[in-house]
Amino acid sequence: MAAEALKGRRTVKQLHWGGGTPTYLDIPQIRRLHGTIARLFSIDPAAEVALEVDPRVTTRGQIETLRELGFNRISMGVQDFDPGVQVEIHRNQTEFEARQLCAWSREAGFDGINIDLVYGLPGQKPEGWARTIESILDVRPDRLAIYSYAHLPEKLRNQRRIDATALPTGPEKYELFAMARRMLVGGGYRAIGMDHFALPTDELSAALDERRLHRNFMGYTVVPASEMLGIGTSAIGEIGGSYAQNEKKLSTYEEAIEAGRFATHSGCVLTRDDVIRRWVIRQIMCNFYLDTAMLERKLGVQYRDYFATEDQALHEFEEQGFVARDNGNLQVLPLGQIFIRNVAMLFDAYIKRPAGFKLFSRTV
């Protein structure tokens, strides 16, 4: 249905199989799914073809099959190696499983390996967290993503079993991230955007140096694809000047597809202001730099006029050493890079800020 609707626009520059984990599919199912995509769409030979896997269920045979099919990047969730933390989050995953999966992926010839960690989990303490980071430095994946845990039991049923009183908050939570950042940068990684780290040899590092880093719903990337097609339950697409999210419930999704209609649940059409602000926020969050002349060339907007209110609010960030002016452009300094969300949030028209509201505590 999607291929037909797109008619001639079927060249794929980036293909990503998201989580849960696609390796719950067996090898024949993996081949069937990939074969269908390859039949209906033209996958660019230089495309980034990636997927998320769970070390607990992924086999060596699956890894070899995926590489044979053209997958070149792999991402695995670890969260934290600390056994006590894993008990708290009801996740039984050994360090050996993650190391083994990394070894299989390297032997199969994957170009890039990414590991996801999470800070702010229940029972997480600096000592155990430091041991996890030390282990990660030893494994040495090409990239790391370190996400902040968001406790939303009213929306995420699986979080209702988590003891909220055991969650680190405020300064305790920030120190976990700061510790990881210090150790990773000290261990040879570069900070990329707001939550990623990469080896200097990784293409994300080169893109950051050249200010051509991008971000989409899958995270940081060097692929500047203008549209993104979301397939599957809860997938989000960015296409035709709009955002659209599919049904989250599998049975409802299947009912729509079997009836011959797209399973879109919600979405919005972007206004011109949305497009302008999205570009500015992406530049700040990706490249730590806003080129105002490029803004005018690309979108016909003069920064000083369009963002006069936001520019005035930036003076406080300048005084605190978060940002600096660079011949009329905006440069995010190392301290501001740690709190990059705070800088970007100034340009978000949908955030309502009452008088005296402080952003810093809300973004750790």
pLDDT, position 361? 44
pLDDT, position 262? 96
Q: Is residue 231 part of a domain?
A: no
Using CA atoms, how far apart are residues 274 and 348, in angstroms rounded to an integer?
Answer: 9
- pLDDT > 60? residue 354: no
- Summarised one tens digit per residue, pLDDT across range 95-142 is 999 999 999 999 999 989 999 999 999 999 999 999 999 999 999 999
Q: Is residue 229 part of a domain?
A: no
Q: Is residue 198 part of a domain?
A: yes
pLDDT, position 20? 73
Q: Verify that 166 and 244 share a domain, yes or no.
A: no
Q: Is residue 228 part of a domain?
A: no
pLDDT, position 56? 92
Q: Verify that 306 and 263 share a domain, yes or no.
A: no
- Summarised one tens digit per residue, pLDDT across range 199-209 is 999 999 999 99
Q: Verify that 265 and 286 share a domain, yes or no.
A: no
Q: Verify that 213 and 327 share a domain, yes or no.
A: no
Q: Is residue 117 part of a domain?
A: yes
pLDDT, position 296? 96
- pLDDT > 90? residue 196: yes
Which one has a higher pLDDT value, 43 or 363?
43
Q: Verify that 210 and 280 share a domain, yes or no.
A: no
Q: Is residue 64 part of a domain?
A: yes
- Summarised one tens digit per residue, pLDDT across range 278-327 is 999 999 999 999 999 999 999 999 999 999 999 999 999 999 999 999 99
The domain boundary residue, chosen from 154, 188, 221:
221
Q: Verify that 339 and 195 share a domain, yes or no.
A: no
Q: Verify that 126 and 42 share a domain, yes or no.
A: yes
Q: Verify that 92 and 166 share a domain, yes or no.
A: yes
Tell me what the mean pLDDT of segment 64-88 comes to: 94
Tell me what the mean pLDDT of segment 150-178 comes to: 86
Q: Taking all residues of the chain, what is their mean pLDDT, rounded to a whole number? A: 91
Q: Is residue 226 part of a domain?
A: no
Q: Is residue 313 part of a domain?
A: yes
Q: Verify that 80 and 107 share a domain, yes or no.
A: yes
Where residue 358 falls among pLDDT bands split at 50, 70, 90? low
Counting residues of the chain whose pLDDT is more than 90, the rounded percentage is 78
- pLDDT > 90? residue 222: no
Where residue 364 falls among pLDDT bands split at 50, 70, 90? low
Tell me what the mean pLDDT of segment 217-227 comes to: 82
Give the residue among 121, 236, 132, 145 at the shortest CA–CA distance from 194. Answer: 145
CATH number at residue 14: 3.30.750.200
Tell me what the mean pLDDT of segment 153-176 comes to: 85
Q: Verify that 316 and 240 share a domain, yes or no.
A: no
pLDDT, position 363? 54
Q: Verify that 294 and 325 share a domain, yes or no.
A: yes
Where residue 353 falls among pLDDT bands split at 50, 70, 90? low
pLDDT, position 58? 95
Tell me what the mean pLDDT of segment 67-72 comes to: 97
Tell me what the mean pLDDT of segment 159-176 comes to: 87
CATH number at residue 283: 1.10.10.920
Q: Verify that 204 and 349 share a domain, yes or no.
A: no
- For residue 244, what are the domain limits? 236-269
Report the domain count for the chain. 3
